[in-house]
Copies of this chain bind each other. A is one copy, B any other.
Amino acid sequence: MDALFRRLSFYADLGESELASLNALPHRVETYESGEEIVSRGEDPGEAFVVSSGWAARYISLEDGRSQILNFMLPGDVYDLQVFVTNGADHSVIALNKVAVLEIKRRDILSLFTEGGRTGAAFWWCTLQEEAILREHIVRNGRRSARERVAHILLELHRRAVIAGEGAGETFHMPVSQAMLADALGLSFVHINRVLREFEKTGVIERAKAHITIVDRKRLVEMCDFQEDYLHLDDNPRRLGFNF
């Protein structure tokens, strides 16, 4: 639960008791290799998940081979929380590198909510953030140019990597192939490549293997008007805890 605790600590002050109640949550750890499916479309997982380490992606594929990544999941991300009212995933989740996932049974999730404590609220909080990221994803893909999209997602992923405890300063490890990026941004991988190379050539970013360094953040930010408030990182912390 460390990744999750670390994550939640970005939103509000959590103490020993919250850490304890997280650790007390019954769960099973499962690991997946890069490329493995963690959840497949159609199956009923019956569990909620917390990414403990590694990156994953939720995606939907069309019959003809086209596919669209809905979002990326980094350590500390929670998903399928609503599992207690669903019985079949309408999308799949794939591991982007070696991933460790905590799986929590629906009954345990549910008891967390009915309790009404801060820990339950903290989980909610995560799904809210995820939804906000999804909405931003729609705007990005719907109303931004290719260059803006790439700039924007690089800034988002960097920020999220830092929050997840990965990445030192402006450098972070991004285990996402250009084809994957293309599937996330609704572009062709050829074009993704051109944009990335351009960013590199103009000294905005640097790349080495799967590592990205943001060299000229200012330029990158104004290129896509990145407003990171959609990540809800500095909202009023009163929100952690159900408030009436």
Task: Mark A residues whose CB is within 8 Å of B.
Answer: 60, 62-64, 66-68, 70, 82, 84-88, 90-91, 106-107, 110, 113-114, 116, 121, 124-125, 127-128, 131-132, 134-139, 141-144, 185-186, 225, 229-230, 232, 235-236, 238-240, 242-244
10 nearest A-B pairs in the assembled complex, by CB-CB distance: A142-B186, A68-B139, A107-B244, A68-B142, A66-B143, A85-B124, A68-B143, A60-B139, A141-B142, A85-B239
Residues of B near A67 (CB, < 8 A) are 143
- Bound CA span A48–B238, Å: 19
Verify A60–B135 contact, CB threshold 8 A. yes
Verify B116–A229 contact, CB threshold 8 A. no
Residues of B near A144 (CB, < 8 A) are 62
Verify A235–B87 contact, CB threshold 8 A. yes
Verify B141–A106 contact, CB threshold 8 A. no
Residues of B near A87 (CB, < 8 A) are 235-236, 238-239
Verify A62–B139 contact, CB threshold 8 A. yes
Distance (whole angstroms) from the CB of A137 to the closest CB of chain B:
6
- Bound CA span A132–B91, Å: 9
Verify A90–B60 contact, CB threshold 8 A. no
Residues of B near A88 (CB, < 8 A) are 235
Distance (whole angstroms) from the CB of A212 to the closest CB of chain B:
22
Q: Which of B70, B84, B116, B244 contacts A138 (CB 8 A)?
A: B70
Q: Which of B90, B121, B186, B225 contacts A230 (CB 8 A)?
A: B90
Verify B106–A229 contact, CB threshold 8 A. no
- Bound CA span A155–B173, Å: 42
Verify A86–B128 contact, CB threshold 8 A. yes
